[in-house]
Structure 1
Amino acid sequence: MTETVDILACGAHPDDIEIGMGGTIAAYVAKGARVAFLTLTKAELSSNGTVATRQEEAARAAAILGVHARYQLDFPDRGLRDIKDAQLSQIVKLVRALQPQLVFYPHHDRHPDHGHCGQMVKEAVFNAAIRRFATEGVSAHRVKASYAYFINGIPAPSFLTDVSAVYEQKKQALQAYESQFTPADGVSTPLTDAYIDTVIGRDRLLGKEAGVQFAEGFYSDRAPVVANLLEG
């Protein structure tokens, strides 16, 4: 039986979640939250590394961040635009089985798969709450909230999370993806051009905006409600 979690973080490719919100994951795990990762593709079209190597790196990165469980689907890399009902139902069924309070997905950016992944997850979260949307063995579940994280670029965030205390874990999780960021043999890609340094610079810049050392940004379709402004 699938164990329930507090947070489900979704990505199109292994390393998406770590780039966008690895610090936030580590911070919530440190507070006792149970977190699961869901990755839609195995990134089989990546210029460097192999599918097997990428899976090993993803497992190491998840362990560094303290992730409770990692789920890997087999949707086609660069094929997420052509969504099929059966594929969407796989995500719906997992959302219902895991019963997360929060779901995260990639914000749209220069890589089309990120936006398509986000759209699929948003549809799945919506369908998971519909009682008469059929999925065998699991019943409807309504997610408390869902938010988009940023991979490439710095769109205007709806809110930031302070990840200063756990930022070393995020860096270690990114460094686990040696085949993508520091390949010994391979071709030049945007990921091999000091990409981790770029991510660190972005998170440092967002942190400066919030008055902390490092922060990660998120976008919400609905304005989040702050329960107590005195708590900061």
Structure 2
Amino acid sequence: MRANDSGQLRILALGAHPDDIEAGCGGTLIKYARGGHRIFLMVLTAGEQGAGRGVRMREQEQAAKSLKAEKIFWGGYPDTKLPIEQRLIQKIERVVREVEPHFIFVHFHDDTHQDHRHLAVSTVTATRYTKNVMFYEGPTTQNFSPTVFVNIDAVLEDKVDALRAHQSQVKKTNIEGLTIVDIIRASAHFRGIQGRVKNAEGFVPLRLFINIGQ
């Protein structure tokens, strides 16, 4: 799949809950948007276990503005009950057909939250014909060893602002004295060290094409 004549790419990021995308690949999406590329989000639940459904959805809509996302596709599944089923795969496939993304970002499959695991596994099937599919990490990800890095030093504060749009979740880390902002800053520093820059987001590719010439 090619970019349009202006070189504009379509980027689709999937998350099980509001704030997952911002935490996992928000900096990368902001950089894409600033480069003139088109951003789309698919959020499979409203995250109502963390706060009211309306609250979480409004927070996600506000955060999407920080990412310059054109559209949020809502999955409509209940929080904590995202299943591995044909219907979920088909929902993702429909969004993929509509957006025709050049890059897809989604949770890594080794994660302590069942919704994250199930979305990752379902996305692998639903994106089997997409060339570039990247797994991102979050606070509940396990055994994540990124081999692809994006320097987000110039946009780290913008990523933090997008996360702060999820006001109901900032302090819900289950780690005393640490907010989600603290965790994301620490992760950015650590992945930056691995990638030999100050701050970075790391990714594990399912597939990554490097285009050389035509």
Find the aligned partners of 1:224 and 1:96 in 2 and give their Cα distance. Answer: 20
Match of 1:156 among 104, 128, 145: 145
Letter in 2 for 1:22: G
- The corresponding residue for 2:79 is 77
The answer to whether the aligner puts 1:189 opposite 2:174 as a matched pair is yes
- CA-CA distance at 1:193 after TM superposition: 3.6
2:202 corresponds to 1:217: yes
Paired AA for residue 58 in structure 2: E
**Structure 2: how far apart are the matches of 1:156 and 1:71?**
29
How does 1:21-40 map onto structure 2 within 5 Å? Answer: 21-40=25-44
**Closer, same or farther in 2 for the Cα pair 1:90/1:205, shift >3 Å?**
same
Q: Quick check: which has more Rg, 1 or 2? A: 1
What's the CA shift for 1:221?
2.9
2:154 is matched with 165
Shift of 1:225: 4.3
Contact 2:30/2:155, CA 8 A, preserved across alignment:
yes
- How many residues align? The count is 203
| Shift of residue 83, structure 1, vs aligned partner | 2.5
Length-normalised TM-score, structure 1:
0.80
- In structure 2, distance between residues paired with 1:191 and 1:170: 23
Structure 1: gaps of 5 or more residues: 127-141
2:133 alignment partner AA: S
Paired with 1:21 and 1:156, the residues of 2 have a C-alpha distance of 15
* Structure 2 equivalent of residue 122 of structure 1: 124
Q: How does 1:1-232 map to 2 (within 5 A)?
A: 6-46=10-50, 49-80=51-82, 82-107=83-108, 108-126=110-128, 142-152=129-139, 153=141, 155-182=144-171, 189-190=174-175, 193-222=178-207, 225=210, 227=212
Unaligned runs of 5+ in 2: 1-7
| Kept in 1: contact 2:146–2:204 (CA 8 A) | yes
Distance 1:226 1:150, change over 3 A: farther
Q: Deviations over 1:138-189 (max 9, x none)?
A: xxxx42210100012572102110111111110000111110114xxxx873
State how far apart, in whole Å, the 1-side matches of 2:47 and 2:68 are: 23
Give the TM-score of the pair, scaled to structure 2. Answer: 0.86
SS in 2 for 1:204: helix
- Is the contact between residue 15 and residue 44 of structure 2 (CA under 8 Å) also seen in structure 1? yes
* CA-CA distance at 1:85 after TM superposition: 2.0
Q: Which moved more, 1:202-211 or 1:50-59?
A: 202-211
| SS in structure 1 of the partner of residue 203 of structure 2 | strand
Give, as a single letter, the amino acid of the residue that structure 1 aligns with 2:40.
A
Q: Report the identity percentage.
A: 30
Q: Which moved more, 1:57-66 or 1:153-162?
A: 153-162
Partners of 1:37 and 1:68 in 2: how far apart?
8
Residues 221 and 84 of structure 1: CA distance in aligned 2, closer, same or farther (over 3 Å): closer
Whether the 8 Å contact between 2:132 and 2:207 is mirrored in structure 1 is no
Pairwise CA RMSD? 2.3
Change (3 A) 1:222 1:98: closer
